[in-house]
A and B are shown apart, each in its own frame.
Chain A
Amino acid sequence: MSKSHMLALFSDFDQASEAIRDLKSSNFEGFKLDDVTLKSPIEHPEIEELLGKRPVYVRIFTFFGALFVPLLGFLFVASSQATFLLQPKGGKPVIPLPPNFVLTYEFFILGGVYMTVLGFFISAKLPMKRNKLYNARVSEDQIGILIKAEDAIMPAIKDLFTRHNPLEIMGGDN
């Protein structure tokens, strides 16, 4: 069975969440909640109660960035000091720890920030090509529900949406 997309636009979040709640309880065959995407002009963390927690891998990147980049930074600084033997140290340590810790701290922040941003791009799948069913009103004041489902159940889903007074329904006709 082929699948297609449908986007329903609602005037506010409450309407959209009611529609999702109905969709969830309707138990359409072959329909998964993972195939529902909420598009909104602001963040609505409360939608996780209906759609479940979305995967966020950013913190893993942050952890490894904040762990390994300072280590690499320290090794970089220390190894350069170890190779710089032209100047007599006069009894002072070749690899002085206090100043190196200052630089390591900066590398810690640098690694954490860079890897967090990298993690964000990967986890949020950015940059991405915009879906054809995107509507600019979603970035203004409307809430969109994007559904990916089998063609056979699309008319039923469309009916369900219609019961919740959407402003517009796009797609769904393969």
Chain B
Amino acid sequence: MVNTYEETEVAVEKRFVPKPLDINADIAWAKINKDILRSLERPRPIFWVIFIASFALFLVGVSCEVYQYQTGLGVANLNNPQVWGLYIATFIWWIGMGHSGTLLSALLHIMHADWRKPIYRYSEAMTTFTLLTAALFVLVHLGRIWQFYYVVAYPNERWTWPNFQSPLVWDATAIGTYLTSSLLFLYIGMIPDLAICRDNAIGIRKKLYTFMSLGWMGTDRQWANFRVTYLTLACFLMPLAVSVHSIVSTDFAASQQPGYHITSFPPYFVAGAIYSGLAVIITLFIVLRYTFRFEEYMTMPILEKLAKLTFAAGMVWTYLNLIEYATTWYGNDMYAKQALIYRATGPFAPEWWMMNFLGSVLPFALTFKRVRASIPVMLFMSIFINFGMWLERWMIISPTLAHGIYPWTWDDDQWPSFVQWGIVAGSFGWFNMLFMLYCKIFPSVSMYEVKEMLHERRFFKSTNVATARDPAINPDLAVEGGLAS
């Protein structure tokens, strides 16, 4: 059979149908600048609703903290054995959430997954602000805030240094490293966009962007250095992100407390962190998409990829959860087994079962395309998954401390007081406030990377079609008689 040129053309186009486009390849570059810069000027009114509500929540948290500071930790209803309560549970949750932003950005950058480009900037910013929020809980749970310097590495007047063998000191070091490194990763990646902001801003904003863009001019020398730097930072941040949450898990796993002393805790914590972080990325994706009119950049194909990734992370977390239950159940440690039974049947049972449902069963809904394609459903799904992951952290902390080795220390009657709930609510306000403020001042979608994405798409498409049309390169054409005939 001899094909005409047109038939072959159609066949080639069909065979080399590109994957569904993550964003429209025909967007003009000037429009990208215009759209993203507009987000810094005129977001939808919902922005102010979120900001004011967040500020109000933040004030609630501050009031509770002031009350706790002046009155003592007793008002939080924290007492032996419940010494950590919601504060440390929420601390781990915030740390975990921050995990995914930078990790996802670095991992996808190294793997050249270009769909990360419209979403990585706000994910990295999320990491920075979640870490700042998490750090607050370390101070808050101490009660006597000034004693924080016990974990800071400098000798005091008695020449005693921190105990470097303590996972708490590792934790402080790891989180400090992660916070500063993530901040630098975010900032370095933002420099070319800050130059765009500088070129278009006026007044005090121009001064800010001029200062922060460091005189970037987009020269080939600058780009060459930028490429190497950004890739190198991504390579450092990948293992760092994994190490941070592993180290957080040693706060528990290195202790002798039944229910904490579990070998699989480090990967379990890392998987949980990635899972909850992805869920938050989806929540923020939907919020930013509407608030800042990013519909053209934060598209449904990207949301779908995020949903699939979240499902995969959820299954890893579920597997590690089941491994933990199985090894505890079949293990020789009867105290750990009792602690597990206590979680499933004791006073915390409703929360524990809800955690398992929200974390392990609910994500199966993500296997349905109709769920992944619905923005309102995805918003609720991501919030519920995250609520499940918050419950997970609470179920690690409180039931375990309530049911230790010695029966005379058992105490399950320490429900968190309004002060604890208030400070937890305040942390949400604090995070949202900082995050929304960031998105109002700095571009939350990377302009130059979206342009790169479009450039690569066009280049790839033209190369692909050209290659496909060449019978010397594509032997199928010659066999079928295509162009050769």
Contacts and interface: CB of A to CB of B under 8 A. Distances in A.
B247 interface: yes
Interface string B442-456: 000000100110010
Given A120-B229, A127-B215, A103 B455 contact: no
B136 interface: no
B220 A99 contact: no
A80 B153 contact: yes
Interface in A1-59: 37-45, 47-48, 51, 53-56, 58-59
B353 interface: no
Contacts of A136: 199-200
Nearest to B169: A103
A156 interface: no
A59 B232 contact: yes
Contact of B225 (A42, A56, A80, A84): A56
Interface in A66-92: 76-77, 80-81, 83-84, 86-87
Contact of B240 (A55, A96, A109, A146): A109
Interface string B182-200: 0011001001100110011
A109 B181 contact: yes
Contacts of A45: 223-224, 227
Interface string B210-229: 00001111111111111111
B204 interface: no
Interface string A103-125: 10110011011101101110111
Contacts of B192: 139
Nearest to B28: A141
A96 B217 contact: no
Interface in A121-153: 121, 123-131, 134, 136, 138-141, 146
Given A112-B236, A113-B181, A126-B222, A106 B173 contact: yes
Interface in B109-165: 153, 155, 158-161, 164-165
Contacts, number: 169
B226 A81 contact: no
B221 A37 contact: yes
Given A39-B218, A41-B29, A116 B173 contact: no
A124 B229 CA distance: 10
Contact of B214 (A62, A81, A127): A127
Contacts of B153: 76-77, 80
A126 B226 CA distance: 11
A52 B233 CA distance: 25
A102 interface: yes
B170 interface: yes
A110 B185 CA distance: 12
Contact of A84 (B159, B215, B220, B451): B159
Contacts of A127: 214-215
A59 B228 CA distance: 8
B320 to A, nearest CB: 22
B217 A116 contact: no
Of the listed residues A39, A99, A138, the one surrounded by the most CB atoms of chain B closer than 10 A to its CB is A99
Contact of A102 (B221, B224, B247): B247
Contact of A116 (B161, B216, B224, B233): B233
B108 to A, nearest CB: 17
B217 A134 contact: yes
B109 to A, nearest CB: 13
A139 B195 contact: yes
Interface residues of A, number: 60
A83 B215 contact: no
B218 A86 contact: no
A110 B173 CA distance: 10
Contact of B219 (A38, A56, A80, A140): A38
B243 interface: yes
Contacts of A110: 177, 180-181
A119 B228 CA distance: 10
B160 A54 contact: no
A41 B220 contact: no
B323 to A, nearest CB: 24
B20 interface: no
Nearest to A115: B232
A115 to B, nearest CB: 10
B172 to A, nearest CB: 10
Contacts of A124: 221-222, 225-226, 229
Given A110-B180, A110-B181, A123 B220 contact: no
Given A77-B164, A99-B165, A43 B216 contact: no
B239 to A, nearest CB: 7
Given A116-B236, A139-B192, A139-B195, 6 more contacts: A40-B220, A83-B159, A87-B160, A106-B174, A113-B240, A141-B29
17 contacts: A37-B219, A41-B448, A41-B451, A42-B452, A54-B220, A54-B224, A84-B159, A99-B165, A102-B247, A106-B174, A106-B243, A109-B177, A109-B243, A113-B177, A130-B215, A139-B196, A139-B199
Interface of A: 37-45, 47-48, 51, 53-56, 58-59, 62, 76-77, 80-81, 83-84, 86-87, 96, 99-100, 102-103, 105-106, 109-110, 112-114, 116-117, 119-121, 123-131, 134, 136, 138-141, 146
Interface of B: 28-30, 33, 153, 155, 158-161, 164-165, 169-170, 173-174, 177, 180-181, 184-185, 188, 191-192, 195-196, 199-200, 214-229, 232-233, 236-237, 239-240, 243, 247, 448, 451-452, 455
When A and B form their complex, which 4 residue pairs have the shortest distance between CB atoms, in order from nearest? Answer: A141-B29, A136-B199, A127-B214, A120-B229
